């Protein structure tokens, strides 16, 4: 389950920064590499900071493993990937470059977007990776 950041409650407690670590299952259809699937849940490690103007910076990483047929030779393959998370949340509606929130930040859209940016276009086995280097 993807947690939420209760900005209003944290601000009232004067807790303006913190960390989150959690696992979540990716949405169906987020992986478009043939014969490949996620081999474990996605792991997220995030840091957040509530700024004086009410905006919230969220940064961190998403890490996941894929397994399936190598996109080049069809041998069994498994790789772990890490993607960066870097977002700004503004109170109200987002403007396309930022995410919006109303008292509570729902991280699900950010996690979905971060995962999509981190996904590779193909999965390679160790032998095919070595050939590329």
What pLDDT, on the 0 to 100 scale, is given for residue 29?
80
pTM: 0.88
- Residue 65 in contact with residue 43, Cβ under 8 Å? no
* CA–CA dist 68, 60 (Å, integer): 27
Asked if 32 and 127 count as a contact pair (C-beta separation under 8 A), the reply is: no
Partnered with residue 91 across adjacent β-strands are 101
Which residue ranges make up each domain of the chain? 4-132
What pLDDT does 10 receive? 93
Instruction: Tell me the pLDDT of the chain (133 aa) as tens digits.
Output: 899 999 999 988 999 999 999 999 998 788 889 999 999 999 999 999 999 998 999 999 999 999 999 999 999 999 999 999 999 999 988 788 899 999 999 999 999 999 999 999 999 999 998 887 7
């Amino acid at each position: 389950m993807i947690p939420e950041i209760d900005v209003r409650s944290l601000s009232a407690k004067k807790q303006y920064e913190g960390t989150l670590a959690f696992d979540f299952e990716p949405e169906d259809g987020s992986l478009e590499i043939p014969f490949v699937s996620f081999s474990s849940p996605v792991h997220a490690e995030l840091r957040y900071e509530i700024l004086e103007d009410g905006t919230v910076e969220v940064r961190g990483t998403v890490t996941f493993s894929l397994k399936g047929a190598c996109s080049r030779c069809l041998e069994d393959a498994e790789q772990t990937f890490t993607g960066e998370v870097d977002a700004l949340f503004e109170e109200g509606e987002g403007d396309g470059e930022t995410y919006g929130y109303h008292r509570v930040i729902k991280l699900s859209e950010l996690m979905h977007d971060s995962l999509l940016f981190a996904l590779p276009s193909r999965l390679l086995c160790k032998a095919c990776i070595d050939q590329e280097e």
